[in-house]
Structure 1
Amino acid sequence: MMKRTLTAAALATVLAAPAFAQSAPTATTSPAPTASSTMNATSGGFVASQPSTDWRGSKLIGASVYGPDNASIGEINDVIIGSDGKINAVVVGVGGFLGVGQKDVALPFESVSVTRKPDSASIDKITVSYTKDQLKNAPTFAYYEPASRATTGSGATGSGSGAMPATKPATPKQ
């Protein structure tokens, strides 16, 4: 539960960052509204409400995903957002039992179909055309990890083995 909360908070931060980075529009220009925010944009270019066609990341993360045979194939563990602000993929945990033996597979967001419960903000069902076997055989998704920086050592002289040089015990002065 804590992982989902932290992921949702991180997702909200990433989605809000472009709004904070924008400079205030001048009186002679205004930003062009996007297709999903055309009806909900205020005069300052901010989105005032969520259109019924958009989804909250907190609703997607943790939701079950179903295959074409209506069998559950996994759960959405994460959402990958591109630098352009669009959702590129959802990461689905597939296989395993209670998280043991599970692997993450990233599915293009365009391949995911999300339906809403009637007269509700809740998700009714998330489906994909991939079968459970196809996803088990799909490549494991690798999250971006920056290259680790090699250290040059601690500055101590020695053979470079990392071991501290042996020292003689101090002899008491008399």
Structure 2
Amino acid sequence: MDHSKHVRLSDIELTEHNLKGATVYGANNEKVGTVAHLHGVGRSARVVIDVGGFLGFGAKSVAVSASELDIMRDESGTVHAVTTWTKDQLKDMPEHTD
């Protein structure tokens, strides 16, 4: 997927309403997770990503700062995020619990 023409979300658009369920892509455009929910809004929000699992079962939740993700909307309006982390690197992060 070519992200070069996708529109970056502004700070005020970084809300759970816009991000929940968004796909997170890592190296080589591999799907590495899905946004489960947010704590806060804007670039300072903590984004909780479900990594691994199948259909929501067996996934590990990790939290990262929204500022560490490139969050954008594609031509069809679908919100997604891009990171330099691999799925294995995310799985190695401490598990997030609410």
Select the structure of larger CA radius of gyration.
1
Cross-structure match for 2:97: 142
Query: In the alignment, does 2:37 pair up with 1:78?
Result: yes
**Conserved in 2, the CA contact under 8 Å of 1:65 and 1:127?**
yes
Q: Secondary structure at the match of 1:100?
A: coil
Distance verdict in 2 for CA 1:57–1:124, change over 3 Å = closer
Instruction: Tell me how far apart the structure 1 counterparts of residues 68 and 40 of structure 2 sit (CA, whole Å).
Output: 15
Distance verdict in 2 for CA 1:103–1:115, change over 3 Å = same
Query: In the alignment, does 2:34 pair up with 1:91?
Result: no
Which of the residues 1, 20, 23 maps onto 1:61? Answer: 20
Map 1:20-59 → 2, pairs under 5 A: 53=10, 54-55=12-13, 56-59=15-18
Instruction: Tell me how far apart the structure 2 counterparts of residues 91 and 77 of structure 1 sit (CA, whole Å).
Output: 6
Deviations 1:10-53 (A, max 9, x none): xxxxxxxxxxxxxxxxxxxxxxxxxxxxxxxxxxxxxxxxxx62
Distance verdict in 2 for CA 1:99–1:59, change over 3 Å = same
Q: Secondary structure at the match of 1:135?
A: helix
Instruction: Tell me how far apart the structure 1 counterparts of residues 27 and 50 of structure 2 sit (CA, whole Å).
Output: 17
Give every structure 1 segment of 4 or more consecutive aligned residues whose post-TM-superposition deviation is greater than 4 Å. Answer: none
Query: What code does the residue aligned with 2:59 have?
Result: Q
User: What percentage of residue pairs aligned between the two structures are identical?
Assistant: 34
Q: Secondary structure at the match of 1:73?
A: strand
Higher relative contact order (Cα pairs below 8 Å, separated by 6+ residues): 2
Map 1:145-164 → 2, pairs under 5 A: none
Cross-structure match for 2:62: 105
**Between structures 1 and 2, the one with greater strand share:** 2
Instruction: Tell me how far apart the structure 2 counterparts of residues 86 and 113 of structure 1 sit (CA, whole Å).
Output: 10
Mark the runs of 5 or more structure 1 residues left unpaired by the alignment. 1-51, 144-174
Deviations 1:66-119 (A, max 9, x none): 00221001110011117xx7642100000111112111100111111012234x
After TM superposition, give the deviation of residue 124 of structure 1 in Å.
Answer: 4.9
Mark the runs of 5 or more structure 2 residues left unpaired by the alignment. 1-8
